[in-house]
Amino acid sequence: MKKIQPVTYLAAIAIVTVFSAIIYVSVQQSYRGNANDPQLQIAGDIANRLNEGKAIDHFMQGDTVDVARSLSVFKVLYDSNKLPIHTTGLLDGKLPRLPKGVFDFARRNMENVFTWQPRNGVRVAMVLMASTAPHRGFVGVGRSLIEIERRESNLTTMVFTSWIISLAIILFHFLAISFFQKLKEQN
C-alpha cells in the first residue's frame, strides 16, 4: 500500500474551502443585489414621470410605513436642497434624511445605489435618482434589509456547517487510511 501523502489532504481541504467561499459569496451577492430591484424600478418610474412633467400621486398613496420595522418599499421626494418634501415612510416619526454625500454622487451619476444605516439596527437598501424636474431634485426609494440579513445569516450557518462536515470527512478518510496502513504493516 502507498504511503499517505499529506499534500493530497491539504489540497482537498483547500478545494473545499475555496468552493465553500465561492458558494457563499455568489449567493450572498445574489441576495444583496436582488434587494435593490424593486427600488430601481420604482425610482426610475417616478423620476421619468417627474422629468416628463407628469403626476406621480399614485406612487405616493397608501399608509405611511415605519422605515425601521416595515419590509415595505417606501418612497421619498427630495428638493434641490436635498431636503425631504414628501414620503411614504417615516423614520422615528420624521421624514427620512439622507447624508449629503449620497446626493452629490447621484447628481453626478444620475443614480446612487447604496446601503443606508440611519441608526443601529436599521439598514436600508436605498436607490436615489436625480431628477431634472423643478423643485424636486431627487427620488429616493428604499426598503429594509432585515429579511436579506436573516437569509445571509442562514447562508453563513449552512455554508460553515457544510465546510466543517467536509473537513471532518477528509479528516476521517485520512485517519481511516492511516489506521488500515498501520494494520497492514503489523501483519
pLDDT tens per residue, the chain (187 residues)? Answer: 566 678 889 999 999 999 999 999 999 999 998 999 999 999 999 999 888 888 888 788 877 899 999 999 999 999 989 999 999 999 999 999 999 999 999 999 999 999 999 999 999 999 999 998 776 689 999 999 999 999 999 999 999 999 999 999 999 999 998 888 888 888 7
Return the pLDDT at 60.
84
Give the separation between CA 145 and CA 69, rounded to whole angstroms: 10
The CA distances from residue 63 to 46, 89, 108, 139, 182, in Å, are 18, 8, 33, 19, 73
Question: Would you tell me which CATH number, out of the four given (3.30.1370, 3.30.450, 3.30.530, 1.20.120), belongs to the domain 36-144?
Answer: 3.30.450
- Report yes or no on whether pTM surpasses 0.75: yes
Question: Among 118, 120, 116, 119, which Cα is nearest to 128's?
Answer: 116
CB 102 within 8 A of CB 96: no
Return the pLDDT at 4.
67
The domain limits of the chain are 6-28+150-186, 36-144
Beta bridge partners of 91: 94
